Each structure stands twice: as structure tokens, then as C-alpha cells.
Homo-oligomer: A and B are copies of this chain.
Amino acid sequence: MGTEVVIIGAVAIGPKVACRIKRIAPDTKVTLIDQDSHISYGGCGIPYYIGGDVPELDALYSTSAHVPRDSSYFENVKGVNVKIRTEALSIDKKNKTVKIRDLHNKKEENIKYDKLVIATGATPVLPPLPGVNLPGVTVVATLHHAKAIKDMVSKGQVENAVVIGGGAIGLEIAEALTDLWGIETTLVEMMDQLLPTAVGKDMALPIKNHMEKNGVKILLSEKVTKIIGDEENGVKAVETSNSTIPCNLVIFAVGVRPNSQLAHEAGLAIGNFGGILVDERLKTSDPDIYAGGDCIEIRHTVNGQNVHLPLGSLANRQGRVIGTNIAGKDCSRFKGGVGTFCIKVFELGLAKTGLTVKQAQASGFDVVYSVVVQPDRAHFYPTQELMYMKLIADRKTRRILGAEAFGIHGDAVKARIDAIAPLLQYEADIDVISNLEVAYAPPFASAMDIVNNAANSLDNIIEGIHDPIDAIDFISDFKNSNTRALDVRSPVQAGPFVEKYGNKWINIDQNILASRLNEIPKDEKLYLICGSGPRSYEAQLLLRNRGINKNTKNVQGGIGMIKQTDYDFAP
């Protein structure tokens, strides 16, 4: 007789572990337990179901061959025992049993295991505010939530919605409500930027602008203090530190907490973020218990610190590792993560990997970064669109710590981030990215791709031959000081800016700059600007090399980044 494996949790990683074990070691008895009736579903698809891209709910729990992944599918096709609507109450490590309760008939029993897998996931945080339990206030975690929300919106019951939380799920839900249903949607975020754990403020601001352009109201640096309404009519408004927003739907998306209570009560080691601690085999502190997915903490490969990264992609990969190890090979390893992430926000795609500047600083790195704006195809190719990238490194070791990018062609954005992400685990330095051999053809890239140029720019900054300023800081200082800008684009391009900003905006075309050096303000602080940064970088070198002005700052990403940062800055 084979081993007996019990898996608690059947959303993403649980089923993956079960199937992998049954494929390698078919004699194993595998039992999959879940409190819910829906199992093995694509939770990440919920915003697209609400937003109508995915018309039917069953698409989220069917195989690509349109077979529902329900209990009978796992039992008949995969040979896995499934107990749905079943709660795991406690784990007895010594006797290797799990006490479970059938939520239907309330019967309890102890089931035996040789190997146990905890795949209990995470639960959205519902902060303890007045009114959070009113009808019309919800989180988005399960297909039940998805269905309830879609029912409300599709019946026209929602005129105004408030989404609380500016992380990935908050953004996706806000888009879903606004885009298809035309619901007046307000997104409230406590921090001073969207996607605060994913990217820097400078990269988040263009996303905010784009969302606002598409009809989402966004309130940053605002704390929700109260949900107003009554039991009978449901929610009526959300009260924040600064305003009251009328609404009849409130969705909390302020983050998730690992479901580690069961593991904790069983005496398994828990980390600082509340996640179960595991080794590279994904074993917990008990050698017969594995854990994976949103309920564990993993090692962030860049700073070596533990982190809670609740991502469906990581869960699936961990599932295979656990399955392989339990099925007797014990050779598979999960070495950690680098937090690679992407999101579609209306027409924009954004992706990132590694640490943000703030996270890198907090980890003790001496952070330096470049911002580069460049077409995503050859600049002469007709479908080209500007792409915006930030590359982050440690000054001393020149090691790459992270990268962030956004643009119109989301797949192209993903391509750049996915090219950098694999290098983080090898502690690759700037030179590796300078010479990174990404695929080139004019319909898909430039000969010197944005990843190469971002590394080259970073090299120039570290070597002290490029002295940049971010568009966001330039805008703020330019508006609030007397510092002038030298625009080295052609008079046709710069003319409207000169008209708008008067003598604060000097225009001398880079092509004739060398012959008009006497017109340059000498040694006063001066901002240098061109379309996307490289020509004004050359101007900076020229002014410095000729001894004209060593006090210039080149606006990284130029007018391209300025326009994304502040839709009203350009004339």
C-alpha cells in the first residue's frame, strides 16, 4: 500500500500537489480538503469576470478543454479523494492525524497522514472599522464574492462604488467596475501612491493619471474611517479622513493575511509576517508537513529577507516542488522569489521585478537608478509606442536590484521585465544588462533595446558623467522655484513650451548648441530637457566639458516622462 497524503486547501497549489503526486506515484492515496464548494479556480481571473472579459464564472474553474475542475473531475480523472465543504480543525503532529469537520452534517473525524500539505492560502484583510459588515461591503477572494458582486452590478444595483486599496486587486477591480459597467468608482489608498509595494511613486503616478483619464476617481493619502449605512438598505457612503463618498458598493482590497492559524496551533514555526516558515524543500518545521502558496513566507532572493508574496504564479510553481518531493524524490527545491509582477490597467501594461528604491534602501543598499524612455520597436517602425523603464542597482557592487516598466504594449513591457528578472538570482551587475542579448527585429525592439540603454544610463550615472533628475522632482521644483529649463529639441517641438513658460524655458536645438554656448546661463542651476533624455544628456556633457555650466540636471525620460507624470504640464 502506498503512502497517504492529506492536503488542506484546494484552490491553486493544493490541486497542483495532488495531481503531481498521482502522476509520479499513482499508488499514493491523496486526500484534498477544502472548506469551500468551489475548488481549483483561477482567483486572479475574478476582476475579468466582474469586468465582463470572462463572461461566465465556470471559465474560472474549468480546464482549458472546458472541463469543470470539480470534485468528480479530481476523483475520476486524477484519482484524488476530495472532501469539499470540509474544515480542518487541528493537526496532531505526533499521531500524524488531522481532525476535520464536515460543514454539511457537522460530523468530525480524524484522518491519518504520512505526509501533510498545508495550502490554506490567505484571507483578505477587513479592517475593524464601523460598518464593515454592512450589506454591500465585501472583499474579493472567492468565486462567491465574484458572483455576488457581478450579480449586483449586472442588475444595475450599483451607481457608485468605492474600492479601498491601491494594490493590484484594487486597481483591477476599479477598472472592471468603471470600464464595462460605467459605475462611478472611487479608489481610496492610504499611502501617497498606487501600487506602493510594487513600484516607486514616479512609476505609479502615470498609472494614476491613466486611471483618472479613464474615469476612476483616485484619492491618495486618505484613510477610510467609517462605512456609513444600515442593515436594511446597506452601505450608503464611505467616510475618509478628508471626505464622504456616497456609494452602494464597497470593496476592500487592502491586502491579505496568511492563513497560518492551523499551523501555528499545531506548533509549526511562523514568520514575522504571519506566514508559515518553510525550507527550500518547502518543508515546515515538522519534517512530514509541507506548506506552500499564500500561507507561507519565502526568501526574497535579492535581499535575503523573508517576505510574504501572495502570487498565484509562485503558488503553482511551489505545488510542483512539493508534489515531486512527496512523491519520493525529495530532490526539488524552491529557492525563493524576486517579486516579478505585472498588471494591465486600462490601456497600459506595467511590470516590475525585484526591490523598489525604497525597499532596496531599507535593505541597506546604496541605491542608484536610471529612468529611460524609448520606443518599444525600432523608432522607424509604424506600430512603435513609447516604453518607460526604471532600472535600480547598488552603487558599490553595481548589482541589479530591481526594474520597473510600463507602456501601451503590455506584452512588450513584460518582455523587458522578464528579461531582467532571471538575472536577479545570479546577482548580475549592470554590465550584464548593458550587453543583455534580447531578441531584436524592427517590429519588436530597437537594436539597442531599452534594457541595454537603461543599464548604460545607470553606468553613466555611477561613473559620474550623467547627473539626472526625475521628471516628478523636476516638475515640482520647476513650478515652485525660479530654476530655468534648457530645452534642446527643435524649435517646432519646444515652441509651445516657450510660449507657456516664458523666459523660464530656453530653447536651443541640440544640433546647434555648440555654436550658441554664449547664450547658456553660466553655472546657475539649470534643467536640461529633450524628448526622452539622451540629447539633453549629451548637452549636459557638452556644457560641462566646455566649462559652461557644471550645475545642470538632466530630466530623465525627458518630455516623454514629464507628460506621463503630469498631464497638464505640456502646453
Contacts and interface: CB of A to CB of B under 8 A. Distances in A.
Contacts of A531: 64-65
A488 to B, nearest CB: 10
Nearest to A317: B435
A535 B313 contact: no
Number of copies: 2
A317 B435 CA distance: 6
A378 B419 contact: no
Interface string A511-534: 110110000000000000011100
A382 B344 CA distance: 14
A23 B444 contact: no
A341 B437 CA distance: 9
Nearest to A320: B456
Q: Identify which of A60, A376, A418, A465 gathers the most chain B CB atoms within 10 Å of its CB.
A: A418
A556 interface: no
B444 A411 contact: yes
Interface in A508-563: 510-512, 514-515, 530-532, 535, 538, 541, 545
A441 to B, nearest CB: 5
A245 to B, nearest CB: 28
Nearest to A530: B65
Interface in A405-453: 409-412, 414-423, 425-426, 428, 431-432, 434-445, 447-449, 452
A402 interface: no
Interface residues of A, number: 106
A314 interface: yes
A316 B421 contact: no
A402 to B, nearest CB: 13
A489 interface: yes
A511 B67 contact: yes
A347 B531 CA distance: 32
A76 B511 contact: yes
A273 interface: no
A490 B65 contact: yes
Interface stretch (A100-108, A258-266, A330-338): A330-338
Given A419-B419, A423-B422, A442 B44 contact: yes
B42 A320 contact: no
A454 interface: no
Contact of A439 (B12, B340, B428): B340
Interface in A313-334: 313-317, 320-321, 332-334
A62 B334 CA distance: 48
A322 B352 CA distance: 31
Interface string A380-421: 111000000000000000000000000001111011111111
Contacts of A342: 439-441, 444-445
30 contacts: A12-B447, A45-B381, A48-B381, A54-B380, A54-B382, A59-B380, A65-B490, A73-B511, A313-B440, A313-B448, A316-B447, A316-B452, A317-B437, A337-B437, A338-B437, A340-B437, A340-B439, A340-B440, A342-B444, A342-B445, A351-B439, A414-B415, A414-B438, A414-B439, A414-B444, A418-B418, A419-B421, A421-B437, A421-B438, A422-B437
Given A77-B510, A77-B514, 17 more contacts: A24-B465, A45-B442, A54-B382, A63-B379, A65-B489, A67-B511, A313-B448, A317-B437, A332-B431, A338-B437, A341-B439, A342-B441, A349-B444, A411-B414, A419-B421, A422-B423, A426-B426
Interface of A: 12, 23-24, 26, 42, 44-45, 48, 53-54, 59-60, 62-65, 67, 73, 76-77, 79, 168, 311-317, 320-321, 332-335, 337-344, 349, 351-353, 375-376, 378-382, 409-412, 414-423, 425-426, 428, 431-432, 434-445, 447-449, 452, 456, 465, 489-490, 493, 510-512, 514-515, 530-532, 535, 538, 541, 545
